[in-house]
Structure 1
Amino acid sequence: MEWMAWTMPTAAFFGTIAALLLVMTLLAIFRPEVPRRGILTIETTRGDRLFITLLGSAFICLGWLFFFGAPLWGALICCLIYAAAVFRWV
């Protein structure tokens, strides 16, 4: 990682994204799903909900940084709650 000057949090972030994509791929192979309609009234799959979650989480973190500053632990908790809601109701 030194050749890219990555910090440990950056490596953890991209490692988590890679792990999520791997889990979604394995779920698609072993447990195929039918798209469903949720609160947004559009058909979504697991991958769509993951994308919505990641995009929303980025905005939650940016808003947290703007209003509260550097420690992002509160934003992480908000993002986890948001992710649970998206995967449950969207």
Structure 2
Amino acid sequence: MELDRESLSDVIVRLNRVQGQLRGIVAMIEEGRDCKDIVTQLAAASRALDRAGFKIISTGLEQCVTAESAGSAEAKIDRKQLEKLFLTLA
């Protein structure tokens, strides 16, 4: 299943933001910052990645369900793939 790029533009923004967070975390480690601060930032980056993943899955699910071929065998396969992807994030 291929997703509509327009629908995922905010995911790209989120992922670019996560890239910045990760660069900041690396800098924190290199500077010898407090472990608590580093773990807090890692948790925030992890949540942001999860949100991006869920957005991708929900967009795919929406496209799958609303597609003209929602009752087709291809749509059923897509739903199974989406369910598997969802469970990898859960």
What TM-score do the two structures reach when normalised by structure 2?
A: 0.36
- Name the one with the larger helix percent: 2
Larger relative contact order (C-alpha < 8 A, sep ≥ 6)? 2
Q: Which has the higher strand share?
A: 1
Determine which structure has more spread, i.e. the larger CA radius of gyration: 2
Normalising by structure 1, we get a TM-score of 0.36
